[in-house]
Structure 1
Amino acid sequence: MSIKKDFCFPEMFLSMNDLGWLDSNNIVYGESLVSQKYLWLYDMRWLTCNKVINYEYDEDESDSIVPFAYTSGGDKWAWYLEDKPLLPVVFCPHDDDEGIIYAENIEAAVFRQILEFASQNNFNLEECKSWEMDVQMAKKHLVNWKNKFKKWFKKEWINELDKLISSDLKYYENKFARHTGRYYVFITPEEANEKIEKYLNFDLLNKPFIWTIED
């Protein structure tokens, strides 16, 4: 089973594909992620248009989704075909039949990824661990995303990126039942959620849905 014949790629995704941003063959190992032709994003590993077209669905996977990226943990990002013409982006965890509706469209999904990047434990002021980066490299990514997506992003989104680029890291504590996470962020997770609600809200935001074939 392959994607439905009447599926049409969003314009931004087609442009990204044509520019070579989605092709992992364009990654030059040993060079900075910022300077790559392939577009690194916080937790979206892209599929090219050709790979999307030739995507092979699992037996229990509904064809109401069209996967276009995946996470480092094997979860899927996809377009949801049950709400045309919006074509919202959904998150499909590999270990759960229930996903969430992540964003109204691909543009909003990328902007949300950037906000979540700025609010997670990706950074350090001193010695960086393998998954962390210093503030200079983080800001290079923010500038790169701003420059690449300004054609498609709303003005208020660009304004938020400018604020992130001009801000400093701040200490944050995330308290759980048995431990406290301590790290640095540009904005807190709570602030990121407020911005997502402010700029990206629509009727289906964060609503659950079943992305597998029900028995």
Structure 2
Amino acid sequence: MNIAELEQKYNFKYPETYKQLAEDNMLNWGESGPHWFETTFPELKKNPPLLLFAYDIEIWNDQQFVEASIDEMSDEEDYRNIHHEYRFVPFAKNGSGDLYAFQFDLQHNGEVPLTFIPHDDEEAEVVAKNFQDFIFRQLLEAITEIDEDSMFYEDEEEDLKQNLFNQLRTHESYLTPRQIEILNEIYHRDIFEYTYKVPNGSSFEAEGLVTFDEVEKILNIEIGFDQLNKKFNYTESWIS
């Protein structure tokens, strides 16, 4: 099933940015398999597809995954018991099975917000007002902690930076000039160590190009809107 067929079947319209990415083959991470990292990844990182170097996200290129996920979420027997008023169209997942989805019931003035749906919690979170801002947020958050678990990690900082600038080059046409300017400035920084605190009061050490606190400030200024980071129980009505 292609994008047009999926839109017709479920009566929605993908944002133009997403359609352009699909047309540009930017959703394609290559054929998955046990040797993907050794054989496919070295070629992909020269011209990175969508969010290749983001943190723990897998973009779906096959619309059959989207179709299956929509059907599962609307099934009365689905364990998530999602309230009927929500219109989620997933497009990616992370390693834990949490989903990233367009939330069409929140669509306003042509903008379709993006929502994070955890696999083991009834509380979802709105993370961006449109797909462009979602890409920007993912690129920023990926560089708060740079370690051996980071996809773009390299032994030499120069090589790591090359991965980031390659990604910025292939993503520029889907971002605003201001977003490109911010990412470009941060990518030119040296990696530094810093301490951050989590809500329970614990402190942790990290290495990155930007701190969690700075990212939060940037996001509030650059992509802020009234629903940003709003959490809600998806088993209940939004207005309850």
Length-normalised TM-score, structure 1 = 0.83
Structure 1 Cα separation of the partners of residues 227 and 202 of structure 2: 33
Counting aligned pairs with the same residue, the percent is: 23
Letter in 2 for 1:81: F
Structure 1 Cα separation of the partners of residues 22 and 196 of structure 2: 37
Between 18-27 and 201-210, report the one with greater CA deviation.
Answer: 18-27
2:154 maps to 1:112: no
Do the aligned residues in 2 keep the contact of 1:142 with 1:161 (CA within 8 Å)?
Answer: no
Do the aligned residues in 2 keep the contact of 1:20 with 1:37 (CA within 8 Å)?
Answer: no
Out of 102, 111, 124, the position equivalent to 1:79 is 102
2:11 maps to 1:6: yes
CA displacement 1:144-183 (0-9 Å, x = unmatched): 2321221121111111111022111111112466864222
How far did residue 82 of structure 1 move? Answer: 1.2
Letter in 1 for 2:223: L
Give 3-state SS (helix, strand or coil) of 2:102's partner. strand
Do the aligned residues in 1 keep the contact of 2:164 with 2:187 (CA within 8 Å)?
Answer: yes
CA displacement 1:14-49 (0-9 Å, x = unmatched): 222233332343465314251366441323211126
Do the aligned residues in 2 keep the contact of 1:64 with 1:211 (CA within 8 Å)?
Answer: no
Number of the residue aligned with 1:207? 230
Do the aligned residues in 1 keep the contact of 2:48 with 2:166 (CA within 8 Å)?
Answer: no
Between 86-95 and 12-21, report the one with greater CA deviation.
Answer: 12-21
Number of the residue aligned with 1:169? 191
2:60 maps to 1:35: no
2:52 maps to 1:17: no
2:106 maps to 1:99: no
Number of the residue aligned with 2:63? 50
CA distance 1:5–1:86, shift in 2 (3 Å): same
Structure 2 Cα separation of the partners of residues 193 and 6 of structure 1: 35
Structure 2 Cα separation of the partners of residues 5 and 175 of structure 1: 43
Give 3-state SS (helix, strand or coil) of 2:134's partner. helix
Unaligned runs of 5+ in 2: 1-5
Unaligned runs of 5+ in 1: 124-128
Number of the residue aligned with 2:210? 187
Give 3-state SS (helix, strand or coil) of 1:144's partner. helix
Structure 1 Cα separation of the partners of residues 61 and 92 of structure 2: 9
Structure 1 Cα separation of the partners of residues 174 and 95 of structure 2: 26
Give 3-state SS (helix, strand or coil) of 2:30's partner. helix
CA RMSD of aligned residues (A): 2.6
Give 3-state SS (helix, strand or coil) of 1:48's partner. coil
Between 135-144 and 179-188, report the one with greater CA deviation.
Answer: 135-144
Between 21-30 and 109-118, report the one with greater CA deviation.
Answer: 21-30
Letter in 2 for 1:47: W
Q: Kindly tell me the number of residue pairs found equivalent between the two proteins.
A: 207
How far did residue 87 of structure 1 move? Answer: 0.9
Letter in 2 for 1:11: E
Structure 1 Cα separation of the partners of residues 185 and 116 of structure 2: 27
Letter in 1 for 2:60: L
Structure 1 Cα separation of the partners of residues 15 and 184 of structure 2: 26
Stretches of 4+ aligned residues off by more than 6 angstroms: none
Do the aligned residues in 2 keep the contact of 1:170 with 1:186 (CA within 8 Å)?
Answer: yes
